[in-house]
């Protein structure tokens, strides 16, 4: 089998997402995805990756990945790694399809057939624009059926009930972000603190300990403030604390963990076994999270998971980006022995993901499973490429 063409696809209004289609001479096509600065990643794919991939065997993934290795940009989730991530996901999709089985099986077989999922409480338009991870990108004016961001900010008790009715027993929320934006993460006013704690009060008041609460801080806080918030949150028995500050120094994570009773989740902002090795060596990591579209695809995510296993740390693949990343993380979660839980966003998988793709993972009664289709299961809808404004670039 040989790669004979590489196509990238950008689809408005999803300003952060990039898809890649790798075509082969045997008619098998692999679909990959990455996000953030998609036009830049697209350029890199056509400029650097395509000449090294076209004419080569897509099934020899370690060799393909080695050929993409750049002199710069290694070790981080920068453009080079995000491009390689999208390629890697597409290559594994081809491997699965060539073998006629799901990627979870092609990776070496399954540790399980289903996994618990938690709901990331984003709304339907969350982070759709290319303006960054900020509250102005919350899209609180959307009117979908699952505007869970507005709900956690204002009606967290009702939201917790609504999720429990679906069998979902974990929810991720980020009520501290606007205060961090105002103060640069250096302080919080008593009013802001009271407002940020409201969802925790409401959830515990409404459903007690039947709901696990994952707290997302989006790397926004100073270390002293992060530790203060961790102490304040202790009474709510939160499940994990994710990205309390920028994860640029493992010693900070160890310091924070000493002040935090919840698991520290280090996170999809990291990439590569090298960063995770340093973090895991602190002994302070509670949960290892990675996004397959950012960390190097199936190949690197599996290595990170194995490394975490050596430190007795469980893994939680990331979603909240796009449908292929979601499917890829779900496939991996069936394969790695130390998967804890899989992220999902009901506003996405019941909403706009279905406007773009078929073959999504299946969520039922709080448990997620994968379709039995070969590959990662997800395909762009046939009409997507013909839609107005869709940008397709092709290298042959």
CB 242, min distance to Mg ion, A? 5
Q: Choose one: 76-84, 103-111, 239-247, 386-394; the region binding Mg ion (CB under 5 A).
A: 239-247
CB 224, min distance to Mg ion, A? 21
> Which residue number, 42 or 242, has a Cβ lying nearer to Mg ion?
242
Q: Choose one: 25-33, 235-243, 299-307, 356-364; the region binding Mg ion (CB under 5 A).
A: 235-243
Q: Choose one: 54-62, 115-123, 162-170, 237-245; the region binding Mg ion (CB under 5 A).
A: 237-245
**Residue whose beta carbon is closest to Mg ion:** 242
Phi, psi of 108 (to 5 degrees): 135, 5
> Which residue number, 177 or 379, has a Cβ lying nearer to Mg ion?
177
> Which residue number, 177 or 242, has a Cβ lying nearer to Mg ion?
242
CB 120, min distance to Mg ion, A? 8
Determine the size of the site formed for Mg ion (CB under 5 A). Answer: 1
201: its two tokens: 């009060």
> Which residue number, 242 or 252, has a Cβ lying nearer to Mg ion?
242
CB 267, min distance to Mg ion, A? 5
Q: Is the bond preceding 135 in cis, omega lying within 30 degrees of 0?
A: no
> Which residue number, 42 or 291, has a Cβ lying nearer to Mg ion?
291
Contact 304, 288 (CB under 8 A): yes
Q: How far apart are CA 201 and CA 256, in angstroms?
A: 23
CB 368, min distance to Mg ion, A? 18
Binding mask 240-259 for Mg ion (x = CB under 5 A): --x-----------------
**Terminal alpha carbon distance of the chain:** 15
CB 71, min distance to Mg ion, A? 30
Residue with tokens 């695809």: 297
> Which residue number, 242 or 379, has a Cβ lying nearer to Mg ion?
242
> Which residue number, 80 or 242, has a Cβ lying nearer to Mg ion?
242
Q: Which parts of 158-217 interact with Mg ion (CB under 5 A)?
A: none
CB 289, min distance to Mg ion, A? 7
> Which residue number, 185 or 377, has a Cβ lying nearer to Mg ion?
185
CB 174, min distance to Mg ion, A? 9
Instruction: By CB under 5 A, name the binding residues for Mg ion.
Output: 242
């Amino acid at each position: 089998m040989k790669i004979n063409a590489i196509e990238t696809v950008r689809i408005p209004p999803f300003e952060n997402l990039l898809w890649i289609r790798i075509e082969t001479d045997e008619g098998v096509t692999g679909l990959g995805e990455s996000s953030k600065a998609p036009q830049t990643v697209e350029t890199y794919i056509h400029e650097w990756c395509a000449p090294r991939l076209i004419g080569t065997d897509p099934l020899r993934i370690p060799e393909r990945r080695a050929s993409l290795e750049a002199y710069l940009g290694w070790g981080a989730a920068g453009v080079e790694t995000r491009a390689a991530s999208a390629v890697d996901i597409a290559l594994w999709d081809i491997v699965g399809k060539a073998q006629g089985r799901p990627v979870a099986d092609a990776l070496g077989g399954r540790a399980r057939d289903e996994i618990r999922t938690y709901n990331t409480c984003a709304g339907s338009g969350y982070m759709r624009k290319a303006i960054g991870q900020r509250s102005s990108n919350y899209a609180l004016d959307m009117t979908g059926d699952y505007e869970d961001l507005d709900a956690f900010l204002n009606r967290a008790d009702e939201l917790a009930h609504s999720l429990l009715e679906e069998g979902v027993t974990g929810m991720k929320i980020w009520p501290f972000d606007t205060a961090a934006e105002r103060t640069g993460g250096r302080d919080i006013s008593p009013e802001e603190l009271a407002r940020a704690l409201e969802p925790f009060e409401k959830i515990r008041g409404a459903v007690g300990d039947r709901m696990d609460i994952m707290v997302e801080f989006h790397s926004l806080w100073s270390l002293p403030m992060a530790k203060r918030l961790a102490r304040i949150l202790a009474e709510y028995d939160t499940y994990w604390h994710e990205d309390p500050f920028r994860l640029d120094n493992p010693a900070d994570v160890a310091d924070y963990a000493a002040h935090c009773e919840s698991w520290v989740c280090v996170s999809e902002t990291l990439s590569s076994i090298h960063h995770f090795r340093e973090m895991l060596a602190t002994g302070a990591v509670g949960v290892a999270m990675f996004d397959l579209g950012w960390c190097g695809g199936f190949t690197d995510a599996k290595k990170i998971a194995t490394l975490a296993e050596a430190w007795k740390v469980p893994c939680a693949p990331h979603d909240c980006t796009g449908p292929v990343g979601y499917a890829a993380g779900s496939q991996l979660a069936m394969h790695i022995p130390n998967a804890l839980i899989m992220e999902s966003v009901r506003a996405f998988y019941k909403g706009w993901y279905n406007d773009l793709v078929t073959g999504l993972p299946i969520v039922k009664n709080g448990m997620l499973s994968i379709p039995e289709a070969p590959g990662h299961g997800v395909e762009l809808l046939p009409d997507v490429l013909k839609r107005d404004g869709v940008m397709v670039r092709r290298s042959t």
